[in-house]
């Protein structure tokens, strides 16, 4: 009888903690449209516009989960297909200026399940910049290890406008009989935020074609990207 009462109390306590956590958690969602789906300097939608949707859930202790879906077109595919990316991680403020994070993502290809892959990341962030290192043991299901380092910077130009800059470097293990791939990508542009609307116009470039990605055309290395999103 006492064991049952103890279990009930423990269950109640866990429920209270969960309910309290849920009460303080924050759920955010965003839908938008972009003139292309550019990922690490590579068009994953063959230069075509794509709708996007994302959601994230922030627990009070620093845990977060989220997900995104966007339209993609791959070599050998039959038209467009959604690419789902789920993420989870933990972020913690180091000081009033800096915070660190660790987490993982899992990418799900609707028609090419054997491309599904997991990637871990760690990074530090300040108010206007972040630095992240990603590692995937089986990037895009190619049996190749991949490391990606990115630096993102925003600079406010006023209450609504901001400059946006990005530098990235991806190192992929050599394919059978090939050599290492080291590809740099960068972007520069501007963003505007009005209440719940966010607009971005970016110019994106990659140092050379990245053979890792199974895209129809890997020649395009310079892109303009216009995107708009509305948050809920």
Partner 1 sequence: MRASIAALVLFLFALFGAAAASAEVPPSSTAAREILVMLRLPPPHYRPGANYGGSYTDSAGSAARRRIAESLAREQGLEVLSGWPMPAIGVDCYVLRVPPGANLDDVVRRLSQDRRAEWAQPMNLFRARAAEGNTAAKASLYSLQPSARLWRLDEMHRVSTGRGVRVAVIDSGADAEHPDLIGRIEVERNFVDTREHTAEAHGTAVAGIIGARGADAGVVGIAPASRLLALRACWEEAAATLCSSFTLAQALQFAIGEDAQVINLSLSGPDDPLLARLIDAAIERGASVVGAVDADAINGGFPASHRGVLAVSDRAGAASASILYVPGADVPAPAPGGRWNFVTGASFAAAQIAGVIALVREVSPAPAMRQSAAWVRFPPSSPDGAAGYVDACATLQRSVPSLNCASARAGTARVSR
Q: Does 43 bind partner 1 (CB under 8 A)?
A: no
Give the C-alpha separation, 224 to 139, whole Å. 26
Q: Does 74 bind partner 1 (CB under 8 A)?
A: no
Q: What is the smallest separation between the CB atom of 1 and partner 1, expressed in angstroms?
A: 33
Q: What is the smallest separation between the CB atom of 206 and partner 1, expressed in angstroms?
A: 12
At a CB cut-off of 8 Å and minimum separation 6, what does 173 contact? 144, 145, 146, 180
Q: What is the smallest separation between the CB atom of 175 and partner 1, expressed in angstroms?
A: 24
Q: Does 136 bind partner 1 (CB under 8 A)?
A: no
Q: Does 39 bind partner 1 (CB under 8 A)?
A: yes
Q: Does 12 bind partner 1 (CB under 8 A)?
A: no
User: Between residues 7 and 171, which has the closer beta carbon with respect to partner 1?
Assistant: 171
Residue with tokens 């960068």: 186
Residue 8: what are its φ and ψ, rounded to 5°? Answer: -65, -40
Smallest Cα–Cα separation from 165: which of 211, 195, 130? Answer: 130
- Interface segment toward partner 1; rule CB under 8 A; list 2-10, 91-99, 108-116, 169-177: 91-99
What 3-state DSSP class applies to 159?
coil
Residue 111: what are its φ and ψ, rounded to 5°? Answer: -100, -5
Q: What is the smallest separation between the CB atom of 46 and partner 1, expressed in angstroms?
A: 14
- 2 and 8 Cβ atoms separated by less than 8 Å: no
Q: What is the smallest separation between the CB atom of 165 and partner 1, expressed in angstroms?
A: 9
Using the rule CB under 8 A, which residue among 67, 77, 141, 214 binds partner 1?
Answer: 67
- 199 and 227 Cβ atoms separated by less than 8 Å: yes
Q: Does 54 bind partner 1 (CB under 8 A)?
A: yes
Using the rule CB under 8 A, which residue among 5, 76, 97, 113 binds partner 1?
Answer: 97
Give the C-alpha separation, 120 to 139, whole Å. 11
Give the C-alpha separation, 80 to 77, whole Å. 8
Q: Does 161 bind partner 1 (CB under 8 A)?
A: no
Number of residues that bind partner 1 (CB under 8 A): 77
At a CB cut-off of 8 Å and minimum separation 6, what does 51 contact? 31, 32, 33, 70, 71
Using the rule CB under 8 A, which residue among 7, 145, 160, 208 binds partner 1?
Answer: 160
Footprint of partner 1 on 168-197 (CB under 8 A)? 187, 189, 191-197
Q: What is the smallest separation between the CB atom of 197 and partner 1, expressed in angstroms?
A: 4
């Amino acid at each position: 009888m006492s064991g049952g009462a103890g279990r009930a109390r423990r269950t109640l306590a866990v429920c209270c903690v969960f309910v309290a956590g849920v009460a303080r958690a924050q759920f955010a969602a965003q839908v938008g449209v972009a003139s292309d789906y550019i990922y690490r300097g590579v068009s994953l939608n063959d230069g075509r516009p794509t709708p996007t949707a994302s959601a994230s859930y922030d627990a009070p202790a620093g845990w977060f989960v989220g997900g995104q879906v966007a339209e993609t077109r791959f070599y050998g595919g039959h038209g467009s297909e959604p690419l789902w990316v789920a993420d989870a991680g933990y972020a913690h403020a180091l000081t009033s200026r800096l915070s660190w994070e660790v987490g993982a993502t899992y990418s799900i290809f609707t028609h090419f399940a054997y491309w599904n892959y997991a990637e871990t990341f760690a990074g530090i962030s300040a108010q206007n910049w972040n630095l992240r290192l990603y590692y995937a043991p089986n990037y895009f299901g190619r049996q190749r290890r991949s490391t990606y380092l990115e630096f993102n910077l925003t600079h406010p130009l006023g209450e609504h406008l901001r400059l946006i800059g990005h530098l990235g470097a991806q190192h992929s293990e050599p394919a059978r009989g090939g050599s290492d791939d080291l590809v740099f990508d960068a972007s520069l542009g501007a963003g505007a935020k009005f209440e719940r609307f966010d607009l971005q116009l970016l110019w994106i470039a990659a140092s050379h074609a990245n053979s890792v990605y199974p895209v129809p055309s890997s020649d395009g290395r310079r892109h303009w990207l216009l995107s708009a999103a509305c948050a809920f």
